[in-house]
Chain A
Amino acid sequence: MQAIEAFLRGRIWIKQFVPFPEEQIQEVIDKGDATIVSGISANGECARCLENSKEYVIPFECATCGKVCRYCRKCIRMGRISSCTQLVLWRAPSIPHARPRDFGWQGHLTPQQENASKAISESIRKNEHHLLYAVCGAGKTEILFLPIHEALQNGLRICVAAPRTDVILELSPRFQQAFPDAAIHTLYGNSPEQTDYGEIVLATTHQLYRFQEAFDLLFVDEADAFPYSLDQSLERAVKKAVKPFAPIVYISATPSKTLQKQIITHSKIFRRYHGAPLPVPTYQALWNYERHIRKGKIPAALKNWIENRLKRKQPFLLFFPTIELINQAAPLLKEIEQTIEAVHSEDAERKEKVMQLRAGKLAGLATSTILERGITIPHLQVAVIGSCHRVFDRAALIQIAGRVGRSGKDPTGEIVFFHNGITGQMDAARADILFYNKEGES
Chain B
Amino acid sequence: MNCCLCDQQLRFVPSWRGIFLYEVPEIACRACKNEFAKISLTGCKFCSKEGGLICEDCRYWEEHGYCEVIESGKSLYGYNEAMKDWFHQYKFLKDVLLAQVFAKELREALAHERAMVVPIPLNKEKLHERSFSQVDQLLLSADIPFQHLLEKCGETLGTKNRQERMATQQLFRLNGEAVPKQLLLVDDLYTTGTTMRQAAKTLKEAGAVSIRTLTLIRA
Q: Is B34 an interface residue (CB 8 A)?
A: no
Complex CA–CA separation, A89 to B4 (angstroms): 30
Q: Is A294 an interface residue (CB 8 A)?
A: no
Q: Is B129 an interface residue (CB 8 A)?
A: yes
Complex CA–CA separation, A82 to B127 (angstroms): 15
Pick the 10 closest A-B CB pairs, nearest first: A64-B131, A60-B96, A80-B94, A63-B127, A62-B131, A58-B97, A63-B131, A76-B93, A64-B128, A76-B95
Determine whether the beta carbon of B96 is less than 8 Å from that of A58.
Answer: yes
Complex CA–CA separation, A61 to B94 (angstroms): 12
A162 surroundings in chain B (CB, below 8 A): none
B130 surroundings in chain A (CB, below 8 A): 63
Complex CA–CA separation, A201 to B93 (angstroms): 26
Q: Is B133 an interface residue (CB 8 A)?
A: yes
Where the two chains meet, the residues of A that have a C-beta atom closer than 8 Å to any C-beta of B are: 55, 58, 60-64, 69, 71, 73, 76-77, 79-80, 82
Determine whether the beta carbon of B2 is less than 8 Å from that of A71.
Answer: no
Determine whether the beta carbon of A71 is less than 8 Å from that of B96.
Answer: yes
Q: Is B77 an interface residue (CB 8 A)?
A: no
Given contacts A55-B1, A55-B2, contact A60 B93 (CB under 8 A): no
Determine whether the beta carbon of A80 is less than 8 Å from that of B93.
Answer: yes
Interface size, chain B (Cβ < 8 Å): 16
Complex CA–CA separation, A58 to B97 (angstroms): 7
Complex CA–CA separation, A108 to B91 (angstroms): 54
A73 surroundings in chain B (CB, below 8 A): 4, 95, 97
Q: Is B132 an interface residue (CB 8 A)?
A: yes
What sequence of 0s and 1s flags, for each residue 100-132 of chain B, a beta carbon within 8 Å of any chain A beta carbon?
Answer: 000000000000000000000000000111111
Where the two chains meet, the residues of B that have a C-beta atom closer than 8 Å to any C-beta of A are: 1-2, 4, 89, 93-97, 127-133
Determine whether the beta carbon of A82 is less than 8 Å from that of B131.
Answer: yes
B93 surroundings in chain A (CB, below 8 A): 76-77, 79-80
B1 surroundings in chain A (CB, below 8 A): 55
Complex CA–CA separation, A82 to B129 (angstroms): 13
Complex CA–CA separation, A400 to B45 (angstroms): 56
18 contacts between A and B (CB under 8 A): A58-B96, A60-B97, A60-B131, A62-B131, A63-B127, A63-B130, A63-B132, A63-B133, A64-B128, A64-B129, A69-B131, A71-B94, A71-B95, A71-B96, A73-B97, A76-B89, A76-B93, A76-B95
B2 surroundings in chain A (CB, below 8 A): 55
**Chain B residue at smallest Cβ distance from A77:** B93
Given contacts A55-B1, A55-B2, contact A60 B95 (CB under 8 A): no
What's the least CB distance linking A346 to chain B, in Å? 11
Complex CA–CA separation, A58 to B98 (angstroms): 11
**Chain A residue at smallest Cβ distance from B132:** A63
B89 surroundings in chain A (CB, below 8 A): 76
What's the least CB distance linking A89 to chain B, in Å? 22
What's the least CB distance linking B72 to chain A, in Å? 32
B4 surroundings in chain A (CB, below 8 A): 73
What's the least CB distance linking B128 to chain A, in Å? 6
Complex CA–CA separation, A77 to B92 (angstroms): 10
Determine whether the beta carbon of A61 is less than 8 Å from that of B132.
Answer: yes
Determine whether the beta carbon of A63 is less than 8 Å from that of B128.
Answer: yes
What's the least CB distance linking A373 to chain B, in Å? 21
Complex CA–CA separation, A69 to B128 (angstroms): 13
Complex CA–CA separation, A58 to B128 (angstroms): 19
What's the least CB distance linking A52 to chain B, in Å? 16
A64 surroundings in chain B (CB, below 8 A): 128-129, 131
